[in-house]
Amino acid sequence: MTPESVNIPHLLNDIQVNVRHALAEDVGDGDITAQLIPADRSARARVITREDCVFCGRAWVEEIFQQLDPTVRIHWRVEDGDTVSADSVLFELEGPARSILTGERCALNFVQTLSGTATTAAEYAALAKVEGKADTVKILDTRKTIPGLRSAQKYAVLCGGCHNHRIGLYDAFLIKENHIAAAGGIGNAIAQARQIKPGALVEVEVENLQELGQALDGGAEVIMLDEFSDEETRKALEMAQGRAKIEISGSVDASRLKQLSALSVDYISSGSLTKHLKAIDLSLRLVE
């Protein structure tokens, strides 16, 4: 998978911005420690993962050295989305020693974070598979992302085999409790949404079966069941009968996912994909 192959608005531009900000906060007006190394010294470095993971972050590494020093050459051993075993080489760097060491931390920060996100997504995707069922529920991310890294983490979720919910507040409606109250009810909120941005997906979060009926009558394409019991979810599916896609949200973690996947809903969304990630342990070492 590559950033060019996915439909995430502004991703390519965001990569450049991500890297520019990361270098600015880390390098500032110059890497004073790197100045200990002779300017003409060349080096080769190897980056390995110390734990199993799903790799993600290639474009960010490439952009770091493009902005920092284009003479640094990168020799890749993996692609985004690859499952990698502990102690495997991810990539090698060759070029000016100063540039390699200056860019090291920024490069590893992006890879450890995005690979951590992709690895969590892969774990969730595996848990969602139900034996004997050809069609599995789609696991969706949320907007609970690291500030400034929304599109990057959304991309990492795809690399791990899960799916994107809306990217931001601009590309789909998600009508929740406070919107419903302020708009004068579910029906009114849906009707206003159709006028504000015709053609945009309209999703409504409901807290009980009565609200579910109102959302169905209003013509919502997706209905999110917030904190429904398993029995209430089954009743909701009977009521919907294909009139809308059904999504489960609320208190969804790895321990609960397997049970929820068996309910035959269309989507399960979980903020844990992006906010409960564990960064992958990486190491860069200069080699002869």
Beta strand 42-49 with 89-96: parallel, antiparallel or unpaired? antiparallel
DSSP 57: -
Active-site entry in 105, 143, 245, 256: 105
Task: Spell out the SS3 assignment of 76-116.
Answer: ECCCCCCEECCCCEEEEEEEEHHHHHHHHHHHHHHHHHHHH
Q: Is 238 a catalytic residue?
A: no
Task: Round to whole Å and give the CA distance between 283 and 47.
Answer: 6
Structure tokens at 256: 């609960």
Q: Give me the helix-helix angle, 11-27 and 58-68, nearest 10°.
A: 50
DSSP string, 164-225: ---SSSSSSEEE-HHHHHHHTSHHHHHHHHHHHSTTS-EEEEESSHHHHHHHHHHT-SEEEE
Please identify which of the residues 46, 144, 243, 245 carries the catalytic annotation. 144
Adjacency order of strands within the sheet including 89-96: 73-76, 89-96, 42-49, 282-287
Kindly state the tokens that stand for 1.
Answer: 């998978």
Rounded CA separation 87/282 (Å)? 9
Q: Is 275 a catalytic residue?
A: no
Query: Which of 31, 104, 141, 205 does the annotation list as catalytic?
Result: 205
Helix, strand, coil share (%) of the chain residues, nearest 5: 45, 20, 35
State the catalytic residue, choosing from 176, 243, 245, 256: 176
Active site (annotated) includes residue 144: yes
Q: Which of 26, 94, 226, 266 is catalytic?
A: 226
- Would you name the residues annotated as active-site residues? 105, 144, 176, 205, 226
